[in-house]
Structure 1
Amino acid sequence: MELRHLRYFVAVAEEGGLLTAAQRRLHTSQPSLSRQIRDLEAEVGVMLLERQARGVTLTPAGRVFLDHARLALLQVEAATDAARRMAQPERPVLTIGFMVGLEVTWLPHLLRIIREEAPDVEITLSSLSSPDLALALMRGRLDVAFLRPEAQSVGLSFKLLAKEPVIAVLPAGHRLASLRKIQPQDLARETYVSSARTSPVLQSVIQDYAAKVGITLKAKYEGENISSAMSLVASTGGITLVPLYAQNILTPNVVARALDGVPPTVDLTLGYNQANPSRLLRQLLARTDELVASVQNQSIIRYAEAPS
């Protein structure tokens, strides 16, 4: 008896017919498959299948044999995988998530630290909205992510990296583009484009800011994300409010300007799942202060320092 006999028998049992198994699963001819099954039954010494006009059914002996055949194939597969892992150990993998545009500032400095801690690690990157990053962390699909401290994030911890000032983005030819700073009252007189549809944390910060400075910001247009909001700004002539890092993804037809006075800030955090057992994750968390200092010293994007 060979492994192929077991694979053929399992395929026929699961497909319910010789022809279907031959065509869909085994890519062989029906006569050849029938011969292999007869050889198997001859070796076992009992009938395993009952041939019928519209397929086959398992005999009582066949049902018992099917369970053992499946188990035997699973054990062979497990043994093969174990041998391959022993001969060629899989490289460790670290999955990192970013809000779109943040990787430009933070990834080079993070990679330096990762290479020092684990030179052979394989790195996978994902760009998602902040709520989607939190969901991916909760589901174990990411090891670490640069995101907002999202509410309703069960099992996650957020390590504060920086407080990002919120800035205004407006068309390059806008009448306010010649100013170095934008007055809050000027915002209220312009067409407002929301950039926070997929960022409830940012939306809350902007609403609190508007209430504090005594203006109303009612979005006439809403972008799906910061990139689409900036496209709407360019096409409608409106203004949007975005975190400072969005300067990394400005298009040529829009410009960024600071807000006059004390600008609102939105927290940028390093999020991770508390249940994640990764040793490399713990090593990275231990060097977070070094990561922040490196970004603060070398990036042209100036973040407000996070409190110690």
Structure 2
Amino acid sequence: MDLRHLRYFVAVAEAGSLTVAAEKRLHTAQPSLSRQMRDLEAELGCELMIRGAKGIALTAAGRVFLDHARGVLLQVEAAIEATRRAATPAKASFVIGFLTGYEFDWLPAVMRIMRDELPATEVVILSLSSPDLADGLMRGKIDLAFMRHERKASGLVFTRLIDEPLIVLMPAEHRLAKRRAITADDITVEQLVGVPHDKSPALRSITDAFGKRLGIDLAPDHEVDNLSMAISLVASTGGIALMPLYARNLLPSTVIYRPLAGVAPTIDLSLGYSEVNTSPLLKIIVSRIGDLKFSHA
């Protein structure tokens, strides 16, 4: 078995079709790809997929193998990236990722540490969703990220920095704007702007649990991929959104926020990095996490 077999299998599994994977992703002949998959199954001694007229369906063994194949390919990509960066030590660089919007609060403190400890280091800043930050860390593309604690991100280390409450975003002219705090009864009659499970799994899980605790349905009427889209949709639809407190940093004059009445649910902001990242720059930053927390206090 070689890496080609793993890449081919992942491509077929994600495409759901040998033909589509061959033509659109791998640019190879479909008979050749089918032969490679049969060889892989023969080597493993089990059936990985069931072929049908409408494509393929993974067997139980195939689903297990897919998870491991993806993990191996991520490890290989991370190793390649780390090796390339180690081969060019003269261009010392450090890539920091932020869950979009947190740069306002945390970047100044990080840059002070970088200037104190590593003045000659090139700092690259990325702004992404938390799942994308986790993917970048696992692939070795990002050194350190301010993100959610992604439960399904294997091989990452997380240190919790803060927990912040959820707040309610609304148009400045909204009927609830005069309220000092927003109740569950207020929320139930409003259009809700929220996030999907795949883009913001931590936030969606918390809002769903909050709704369950209150006995109300908090499934969004409108789903958005990021905070900027949420703010825009709140302004344009007249709806409301449950978002972490940091969202207040990005609000235009047409959108305001109010706290939730009672005990509001909270969501974490954590520092994440790969456990196999041996960068001395990373060790310095991690050793000064206490300074980051103090600067934010």
| TM above 0.5 | yes
Q: Deviation of residue 196 (structure 1)?
A: 4.8
* Counterpart AA for 1:94: F
Q: Deviation of residue 251 (structure 1)?
A: 1.8
Report the secondary structure of 2:276's partner residue: coil
Whether the 8 Å CA contact 2:168–2:240 is kept in 1: the answer is: yes
1:183 aligns to 2:186 (yes or no): no
* Counterpart AA for 1:178: K
* Counterpart AA for 1:279: P
> How many residue pairs are counted as aligned between the two chains?
209
Whether the 8 Å CA contact 1:205–1:264 is kept in 2: the answer is: yes
Report the secondary structure of 1:181's partner residue: coil
5+ residue gaps, structure 2, are 1-87
Paired position in structure 1 for 2:231: 230
5+ residue gaps, structure 1, are 1-84, 297-308
Paired position in structure 2 for 1:80: none
Whether the 8 Å CA contact 1:195–1:242 is kept in 2: the answer is: no
Name the CA distance, whole Å, in 1 between partners of 2:166 and 2:114.
30
Whether the 8 Å CA contact 1:159–1:271 is kept in 2: the answer is: yes
Paired position in structure 1 for 2:109: 109
Kindly report which structure 2 residues correspond to 1:1-308, keeping only aligned pairs within 5 A, or say none: 90-196=90-196, 198-296=199-297
**Per-residue deviation, residues 254-296 of structure 1 (Å, max 9, x unmatched):** 1011111111001110000010011111111111011111111
Change (3 A) 1:258 1:196: farther
Name the CA distance, whole Å, in 2 between partners of 1:184 and 1:288.
37
Whether the 8 Å CA contact 1:232–1:238 is kept in 2: the answer is: yes
Normalising by structure 1, report the TM-score.
Answer: 0.66
Aligned-pair identity in percent equals: 46
Report the secondary structure of 2:100's partner residue: coil
Name the CA distance, whole Å, in 2 between partners of 1:120 and 1:218.
48
Which region of structure 1 is more displaced relative to structure 2, 110-119 or 192-201?
Answer: 192-201
Whether the 8 Å CA contact 1:195–1:240 is kept in 2: the answer is: no
Report the secondary structure of 1:95's partner residue: strand
**Per-residue deviation, residues 99-146 of structure 1 (Å, max 9, x unmatched):** 111001100011101111111110001011000000000000000000
Structure 1 stretches of at least 4 aligned residues deviating more than 3 Å after TM superposition: none
Q: Deviation of residue 181 (structure 1)?
A: 1.0
* Counterpart AA for 1:286: S
Paired position in structure 1 for 2:79: none
Q: Deviation of residue 151 (structure 1)?
A: 2.1
Paired position in structure 1 for 2:66: none
Q: Deviation of residue 90 (structure 1)?
A: 1.8
Whether the 8 Å CA contact 2:208–2:219 is kept in 1: the answer is: no
Paired position in structure 2 for 1:73: none
Paired position in structure 2 for 1:17: none
* Counterpart AA for 1:128: L
Name the CA distance, whole Å, in 1 between partners of 2:115 and 2:159.
21
Q: Deviation of residue 214 (structure 1)?
A: 2.0
Name the CA distance, whole Å, in 2 between partners of 1:105 and 1:152.
26
Name the CA distance, whole Å, in 2 between partners of 1:183 and 1:158.
33
Whether the 8 Å CA contact 2:93–2:122 is kept in 1: the answer is: yes
Name the CA distance, whole Å, in 2 between partners of 1:219 and 1:284.
38
* Counterpart AA for 1:213: L
